[in-house]
A and B are shown apart, each in its own frame.
Chain A
Amino acid sequence: MDDAGTPLIRVRDLCRDYSVSRRREGVRGGVVDLLRPRRETLRAVDRVSFDVASGEMVGYIGANGAGKSTTIKMLTGILTPTSGTVDVGGLVPWRDRGHYTRHIGAVFGQRTQLWWDLAVVESFRLLQKIYEVPDADYRRQLGRLDELLGLGEFLHQPVRKLSLGQRMRCELAAALLHAPRLLFLDEPTIGLDVVAKESVRTFLRDIRESQGTTVLLTTHDLGDIQQLCRRVIIIDHGRVLYDGDLEGLRARVDDRVALHVELREPVPSAALAAATAGLPVQWREAAGLLHVADFSRRDVRGAEVIKRVVNAQAVLDLRLAEQSIEEIVRGIYRRGDAGELP
Chain B
Amino acid sequence: MTANLVSLGVQLLVLSAVFSKVESLRGWSYDQVLFIYGFSLLPLGLFNLVSVNLYGFSEQYIIEGDFDRILLRPVNPLAQILCSSFGTGGINELILGGAVMAYAGSRLGLDIGAAGFALLPLLAVSAALVYTGVFLGLTALSFWMEDRLGLAPPVYNVIRFSRYPVTIFSPLVRLLLTFVLPFAWVAFYPAAWYVGGEQWERVALLTPAVGGLTFGIGYLTWTRGVRRYTSTGS
Contacts and interface: CB of A to CB of B under 8 A. Distances in A.
Interface of A: 18, 21, 64-65, 69, 73, 76-80, 94, 97-99, 101-102, 104, 106, 108, 110-111, 113, 130-131
A113 B230 contact: no
B74 A80 contact: no
Given A78-B67, A78-B71, A78-B72, 13 more contacts: A64-B234, A69-B234, A73-B231, A79-B229, A98-B74, A98-B75, A99-B74, A102-B74, A111-B66, A111-B68, A113-B69, A130-B74, A131-B74
A78 B146 contact: no
Contacts of A131: 73-74
B21 interface: no
Contacts of A78: 67-68, 71-72, 229, 231
A97 B71 contact: yes
Contacts of B65: 111
B170 interface: no
Contacts of B230: 18, 79
Interface string B53-84: 00000000000011111011111100000000
Contacts of A106: 72
Q: Which of B66, B146, B230, B231 has the most CB of A within 10 A?
A: B230
B194 to A, nearest CB: 41
B158 to A, nearest CB: 23
Nearest to B228: A80
Question: Interface size bucket, B side?
Answer: 10 to 19
Contacts of B76: 98
B75 A130 contact: yes
Contacts of A113: 69, 72
26 contacts: A18-B230, A21-B146, A64-B234, A69-B233, A69-B234, A73-B231, A76-B71, A77-B71, A78-B67, A78-B71, A78-B229, A78-B231, A79-B229, A80-B227, A80-B229, A94-B227, A98-B74, A99-B74, A101-B72, A104-B72, A108-B68, A111-B65, A111-B68, A111-B69, A130-B73, A130-B74
Contacts of A102: 74
A78 B233 CA distance: 13
A32 to B, nearest CB: 14
Contacts of B74: 97-99, 101-102, 130-131
Closest 9 CB pairs of A and B: A101-B74, A78-B71, A102-B74, A80-B227, A78-B68, A69-B234, A106-B72, A98-B74, A130-B73
A50 to B, nearest CB: 21
Nearest to A108: B68
Contact of B68 (A64, A73, A130): A73
Contacts of A76: 71-72
A15 to B, nearest CB: 14
Contacts of A79: 229-231
Contacts of B73: 101, 130-131
Contacts of B227: 80, 94
A94 B72 CA distance: 10
Interface string B219-233: 000000001111101
A15 B27 CA distance: 63
A164 B74 CA distance: 27
Contacts of A80: 227-229
Nearest to B67: A78
Nearest to A17: B230
A89 B69 CA distance: 22
A321 B229 CA distance: 47
A80 B226 CA distance: 9
Contacts of A108: 68
Contacts of B67: 78
Contacts of B229: 78-80
Nearest to A129: B75
A21 B144 CA distance: 12
